[in-house]
Structure 1
Amino acid sequence: MTNRTLYLIACAAPPARRIDVAIRAVQAADWDVCLILTPSAYRWATEDAEGEIDRLSGLTGHPVRHQYKLPSQEDVLPAPDAILVAPLTANTLNKWAAGISDTLALGLITEGMGLGLPIVALPHWNDAQGLHPAVPRNVETLRAAGVTFLLGEDGFGSRKRRQNNLDPYPWQAAVEALPT
């Protein structure tokens, strides 16, 4: 069993439907994986396949989280040593760069930055979303704060609208960008 814990934070983008690929790849790199879904990604998982959350919990060995716990509740996940945000949507990117923490996923990544945790982000958005002026500005803001963004040749290349081929999503590039 590894002593390194990775929080895998997945947003509601098509590659989230194959999050098990990422989980297995990260585990093969000797990380203990905890899966955190944005509220929309959680809804996708529960509506796409009955028992999907239980299957993912079984795969990671941890509960899948998607919302804040109450202050009186015990934390069910070990503390992270690193965070991988994949797939990262333009919506979450823009909120993250603004410091908004209105979901558990955003709260963890904004807090992770303050704690100095290594954070890798593998985006997934379409060409039109990528052309919004906030997107490149916010990528640069987060890069300047120490976040590793996988964009272009070594990571994500934006896609045409309504093109959702999941095969080329570079999960392995994200795993290779994690600290060793």
Structure 2
Amino acid sequence: MSQPSLRPRPVVYLFASAAPPALQLPDVVRRARRRGWDIAVGLTPTARDWLEDRVPELEELTGYPVKSAYRRPGQPDVLPPADAVLFAPATFNSVNSMAAGITSSWVVGCAAESPGKGIPVLVMPCVNSALAAHPQFARSVAVLQEARMQVLYGEDGFVPNRPGERLPYPWESALAAVEQAL
């Protein structure tokens, strides 16, 4: 008879900025938990505002508080250590902030420092084609890759849509990439 695995479930931080796919987070959490992962959700302040009425549901699904602000000095961390970070959807602002090292939001700061701690970070942008055409965006994607983050952008990830167009967000590609990173 086989012994049950003593290996704990991997902890994946699921971070989101304020883009329409963030509204799908409860379903994404369910899908990720079916893969055998513990999920902790982090939101930019604007994403938290967008999802305020869904925060109790997210906390019930994950068993952890939804985090969107830095803790005060001396306060304990409310989340277990991450085995991987998935930042999806990552807006134009979040991608550029991470690349520039502007960590005014907790999720951007946590994602920015995670590669330095040996934690895999996967970033799936959510930008329209007009923003993707801005020269800073390509530079920021290159900087994130240089910082040892996996950017799920282009053919195997997110493909920008036209402004105002709503196409399905490739969540399954993001989850499959996390599976590989774990």
Query: What SS does the aligned partner of 1:66 have?
Result: coil
Contact 2:26 2:57 in 1 (8 A): no
- Pairing 1:175–2:175 present: yes
The one-letter amino acid paired with 2:101 is G
CA shift, 1:144, in A, is 2.0
CA distance in 2, matches of 1:174, 1:135: 20
- Pairing 1:20–2:37 present: no
Match of 2:40 among 16, 34, 43: 34
User: Could you list the runs of 5+ residues in structure 2 that have no partner in the other structure?
Assistant: 1-6
CA distance in 2, matches of 1:107, 1:141: 15
Query: What SS does the aligned partner of 2:21 have?
Result: helix
Q: Counterpart of 2:159?
A: 157
For normalisation by structure 2, the TM-score amounts to 0.91
Contact 1:2 1:30 in 2 (8 A): no
Identity, % of aligned pairs?
A: 39
1:63-142 maps to which residues of 2 (within 5 A)?
63-142=65-144
**Could you tell which deviates more after superposition, 67-76 or 127-136?**
67-76
The one-letter amino acid paired with 1:73 is Q
CA distance in 2, matches of 1:91, 1:113: 20
1:39-78 maps to which residues of 2 (within 5 A)?
39-46=45-52, 50=53, 52-78=54-80
CA shift, 1:28, in A, is 1.8
CA distance in 2, matches of 1:30, 1:153: 27
Contact 1:21 1:171 in 2 (8 A): no
The one-letter amino acid paired with 1:56 is L
CA shift, 1:71, in A, is 1.1
Query: What SS does the aligned partner of 1:156 have?
Result: coil
The one-letter amino acid paired with 2:156 is D
Query: What SS does the aligned partner of 2:159 have?
Result: coil
Greater RCO (Cα-Cα under 8 Å, separation 6 or more): 1
Aligned residue pair count: 174
CA distance in 2, matches of 1:2, 1:71: 29
Poorly superposed stretches of 4+, deviation over 3 Å? none
For normalisation by structure 1, the TM-score amounts to 0.92
- Pairing 1:4–2:10 present: yes
Query: What SS does the aligned partner of 2:51 have?
Result: helix
**Could you tell which deviates more after superposition, 144-153 or 32-41?**
144-153
User: Could you list the runs of 5+ residues in structure 1 that have no partner in the other structure?
Assistant: none
Query: What SS does the aligned partner of 2:89 have?
Result: strand
